[in-house]
Amino acid sequence: MKDIELEFKISNVADLIVTSHKIVVFTGAGVSTESGIPDFRSPGGIWTKFDPEDFTIQKFISDPESRRKQWKFLVDGGFFADAEPNQAHLAVAELEKLGKLDGVITQNIDNLHQVAGNSPEKVFELHGNMNWVRCLNCNERYPMKHIKERLQKGEEIPECENCNGMLKPDVVLFGEALPQDVMSDATDHARDCDLFIVIGSSLVVYPAAYMPVYATEAGAKLIIINMTATTYDYIATEVIYEKAGGVMQKILDNVKMKIQ
């Protein structure tokens, strides 16, 4: 994208943010990858190196060997160990500080929106959060760090300390339904916003990808910032084909200048 065209688009997006009152941001893997977290679905991603069929909820529940393998993959892989928020995360957190942000709907499981400064109650994690582990029997939650310490001491398949039930990373595995309470809250926010900003998502994973449709059908304007085209570019007010971090920082700088 030519510099002059990009600057024009950034200014337009900044204008939309300044004049909006309820903004919802939707983030995908393109935001996480800029923090060094591997993409799962893209060429060269995690699922080109491992078989997704080994990581289904059905196998996790029914097969102890599959549980052992999944725990080793999810906990010892170190995918999130050194990850820190990038410019895109920080810009979204800044939108909240400016009083513009109504919510963040994310497909990511890395907890980086909260680390960047977004209020946890404003972040709707459609695919869960890798920082937590949940008991499938009594619903008790444990920090992943605590469970990892147990695994490092020799446990291979950890059980709940409260009821000895089966523990599972609090993320959505293949074949598992998205959490309905989170989906419901995210949908309500999408339908109640006046500006919906997609950042770093190709919008191909459903039902999450319906969120911009809910927003636009309710009258919100749509902005898409992604490296490649999406199915919904044609209904967007503005589309920017660039990396998320640098563009979001420029947009935020422009917003602050216009507000002042």
- Gyration radius of the chain over CA positions: 19
| pLDDT above 60 for 40 | no
Cα 232–235–240 angle (5° rounding)? 70
Higher pLDDT, 174 or 89: 89
DSSP for 149-207 reads HHHHTT-SS-B-TTT--BEEEEEPPBTPPPPHHHHHHHHHHHHH-SEEEEES--S-STT
Average pLDDT, the chain: 91
| Catalytic residue set | 127
Higher pLDDT, 229 or 37: 229
Same domain, 72 and 186: no
CATH code of the domain covering residue 243? 3.40.50.1220
The average pLDDT across 78-104 equals 90
Q: List, in sequence order, every residue forming a beta bridge with 105; answer none if it has no partner.
A: 26, 124
Same domain, 245 and 146: no
Same domain, 198 and 164: no
Last residue of a domain, one of 107, 136, 171: 171
Look up the domain containing 201 and give its range. 1-37+85-127+178-260
The average pLDDT across 167-195 equals 94
Same domain, 97 and 226: yes
Sign for the CA dihedral angle at 243, 249, 252, 258 comes to negative
Same domain, 137 and 225: no
- pLDDT tens digit sequence for 185-197: 999 999 999 999 9
- pLDDT, residue 50, reads 56
The average pLDDT across 38-45 equals 56
Same domain, 66 and 149: yes
How many whole angstroms separate alpha carbon 244 and alpha carbon 246? Answer: 6
How many whole angstroms separate alpha carbon 167 and alpha carbon 147? Answer: 9
pLDDT class for 80, splitting at 50, 70, 90? Answer: low
- pLDDT, residue 3, reads 85
- pLDDT, residue 83, reads 83
Last residue of a domain, one of 147, 171, 195: 171
Last residue of a domain, one of 118, 140, 171: 171
The average pLDDT across 218-246 equals 96
Same domain, 123 and 30: yes
- pLDDT tens digit sequence for 94-127: 999 999 999 999 999 999 999 999 999 999 999 9
How many whole angstroms separate alpha carbon 31 and alpha carbon 142? Answer: 26
The average pLDDT across 240-251 equals 96
Same domain, 120 and 138: no
- The structural domain count of the chain equals 2
How many whole angstroms separate alpha carbon 177 and alpha carbon 173? Answer: 8
pTM higher than 0.75 for the full model?
yes
Residue 195 CB coordination number (10 Å):
22
How many whole angstroms separate alpha carbon 6 and alpha carbon 29? Answer: 22
